[in-house]
Chains A and B, each alone.
Chain A
Amino acid sequence: MPDTAGSVAVQQTMRPISLYRRAVDRLMTAAAFATVLLVLAPLIAIFGYLLYKGVESVNWAFLTQIPKPEGEAGGGMANGIVGSMIILSVASLIGVPFGVGAGIYLAEFGRNRLGSAIRFTADVLNGVPSIVTGIVAYAILVRRSGFSALAGGVALAIMMVPTITRTTEEMLLLVPQALREAAYGLGVSRWRTTLSITLRTATSGIITGIMLAFARVAGETAPLLFTALGNEFWSGRLPWDSHWHSQPWTLGLNQPTAALPLQIYKYATSPYDDLHRQAWAGALVLIILIVTAVSAVRYAVRRGSFGAA
């Protein structure tokens, strides 16, 4: 066959790859593999340490008690766990509607100059250092009404919006144009099409974006430093306490509020061994909370009525 004859001819004229070039090739492959190991090493070290130290330190008291006075052993971070949940709820309640709304605008109405400006702004906001967001929330809210869970929530909401906006836009653009046209063809109005057809089809992807944003802000400490501030006690009035004092119970949204990341920071930089132990426990609880929240929502979405994707 002419084909084999040709390739034989080529092989005869081709010089073999020199030993040096082959050695460089091997060396670079080995080097690339080594970088993978070097990068995975800290990952394993961090998770390993977190599990080892955290599991050892988490106990019932840690989960149910509030911090003991300085220097005293024992106590826990119950107020920080609840505080984090409150702050994150506030952040999600503000950030998700705005983020999804802006995403809908970009995908459905945003093929113009304003759309490009918003798109660019969202990308820019994504890179703003979290500490700067904290300063802004301080200037807007704290200077007027004091440190509060609300201010912390607003700071985190500002950080959530750009991520949610961009993923929502991307997911909506993935929905086939034919689906929209089919709805219009049936005489369905535009807003109804967007909400019931487009948005619903893209729900699963949008939720993923929201959880991405949530996971990102859940561990944020810097923007909470001078907004939520932290608190050694419960910021609201507990149901059983309020019963005791016959006063209504409150969430304490307008009070300085403890948050897990803030407690971890404070304890890690303190001089007491028992607080170091609690910092590790707090870190483990924080990671578990984030993972649980993210997987619970994703599971609910997959199981729920909007299993579109």
Chain B
Amino acid sequence: MQGPQPVEATKVTGGPPVRATPLLRTASGEIPDRIFKAAMTACGLAVLGVLFLIIYELVNPSALSWHKFGFKFFMDSGWDPVNQQFGALPFIYGTLVSSLVALIIAVPLSIGVAVFTTEMCPKVLRGPLSFFVELLAAIPSVIYGLWAIFVLVPLLSKYVQPFLSTTLGWTGLFTGPPYGIGMLAAGIILAIMIVPIISSITREVLMVVPQNQREGVLALGATRWEMIRVGVLRNARAGILGGIILGLGRALGETMAVTMVIGNNPQIVKSLFAPGYTMASVLANEFSEATGDMYVSALIEIGLALFLVTIIVNALAQVLVWTVTRGQPARGNA
């Protein structure tokens, strides 16, 4: 402090009354506090409201179809809007099979990536590697679809499918004309899309495995891989499973990329080369053109089923991840 302080002091006391800063002016605000709390609570309640709105808007219009077809709706494989015949089985089949193919491809890849980035690679590479993998999650679904149509599908029909049908054709899974478009293409593009989800959750879970578990196993004379298998992966099982189920949830609901490559044909065929149809794709393709109450109602019932399945799947995943990370929300960054 510099200058003659006593003079300053007298100046202040003798001057005009000190202007309260805006912060202090509202110091005794019982009523504004209540209003603020009410407004924020309203925002919070809006989140609940949206969920109820979604449920209401799905349940209410689908009642018509539910009353007419009942549970048979999900067992019947005939989808013929012209003759008012609605059975959702081909779509359920398509959704499940394409997601299953995606999981079979994506799970080993994602776990491999997560293990490599947390346990094996030099520390310098960790950040950039996980950044690049998570960049995959930032690409819009329609761009995946675009790429799949013009790059992946030709690649499949020219090289991959002929190879698969000569080597694994006897399984019956890889037969038929190699058009490229079909269940296999949908599964592969879904796999690329869910790898970042599964691998980031897995990485998260691996990182909360206590360091002394690793040290303990290494001290017993294990190699690095044995340490990872026994000390890390076994401890993180539940969380990894949670990540896989979260990826499944994403795959089940994914719409655009799948719609663009699956072929959109409501049929149930064993071969993965054949075109199929998923619950999300039929909504994307037919909802805006649906005429007649029953048609719309049947489509919304498919939407409701999709909604319920993804909610159950996601809740399950959430619980599994929580058991490992103990309530810390799973986040993508290191």
Contact = CB atoms under 8 A, between A and B. Distances in A.
A124 to B, nearest CB: 6
Contacts of B315: 124
Interface stretch (A221-229, A231-239, A299-307): A221-229
Interface residues of B, number: 90
B149 A269 contact: yes
Interface in B123-163: 129, 132-133, 135-136, 138-147, 149-151
A108 interface: yes
Interface in A20-55: 21-22, 24-25, 28-29, 31-36, 38-40, 42-43, 45-46, 49-50
Given A135-B300, A265-B142, A98 B43 contact: yes
A235 B240 CA distance: 47
Contact of B36 (A106, A123, A133, A194): A194
Contacts of A183: 23
B42 A101 contact: yes
B23 A101 contact: no
B204 interface: no
A129 interface: yes
Contact of A192 (B26, B145, B146, B311): B26
B298 to A, nearest CB: 13
Given A128-B311, A138-B287, A219-B140, A101 B44 contact: yes
Contacts of B142: 219, 221, 261, 264-265, 268, 283
A267 to B, nearest CB: 9
A268 B160 CA distance: 23
Contacts of A35: 108-113, 116
A104 B27 contact: no
Interface in B2-31: 23-24, 26-29
A136 B57 contact: yes
A140 B44 CA distance: 20
A62 interface: no
B23 A97 contact: no
A85 B73 CA distance: 40
Interface in A164-182: 165-166, 170
A42 B120 CA distance: 22
A188 B255 contact: no
B92 interface: no
A29 B228 CA distance: 11
Contacts of A283: 142-143, 146
B47 A269 contact: no
A132 B58 contact: yes
B225 A25 contact: yes
A36 B195 CA distance: 11
B48 A135 contact: no
A24 B329 CA distance: 35
B46 A98 contact: yes
Nearest to A276: B150
A289 B139 CA distance: 12
A43 B145 contact: no
A36 B129 contact: yes
Contacts of B115: 32
B68 interface: no
Contacts of A221: 140-142, 255-256
Interface string B302-320: 0100110011011100100
Interface stretch (A1-9, A66-74, A110-118, A243-251): A110-118
B168 interface: no
Contact of B143 (A115, A138, A187, A286): A286
A209 to B, nearest CB: 11
Contacts of A29: 120, 224-225
Contacts of B246: 127
Interface in A202-225: 215, 218-222, 225
A97 B47 CA distance: 12
A58 interface: no
A268 B287 CA distance: 20
Given A32-B116, A129-B306, A109 B40 contact: yes
Given A49-B151, A225-B287, A268-B146, A97 B43 contact: yes
A124 B287 CA distance: 24
A253 interface: no
Contacts of B51: 121, 124-125
Contacts of A105: 40-41, 43-44
A229 B288 CA distance: 9
A196 interface: yes
B209 interface: no
A25 B192 contact: no
A35 B1 CA distance: 64
B334 interface: no
A131 B44 contact: no
A196 B27 CA distance: 13
B253 interface: yes
B246 to A, nearest CB: 8
Nearest to A40: B132
A219 B253 contact: no
A102 interface: yes
Interface in B280-334: 280, 283-284, 287-288, 300, 303, 306-307, 310-311, 313-315, 318, 329
A51 to B, nearest CB: 12
B249 interface: yes
Contacts of A46: 139, 143-144, 147
Which of B32, B109, B147, B315 has its CB near the most chain A CB atoms (within 10 A)?
B147
10 contacts: A32-B120, A34-B112, A38-B109, A43-B133, A46-B144, A97-B43, A129-B252, A166-B329, A265-B145, A290-B138
Given A123-B318, A127-B253, A265-B142, 13 more contacts: A32-B112, A35-B111, A36-B133, A42-B192, A102-B40, A105-B41, A135-B57, A139-B61, A191-B29, A215-B138, A265-B260, A269-B260, A279-B146
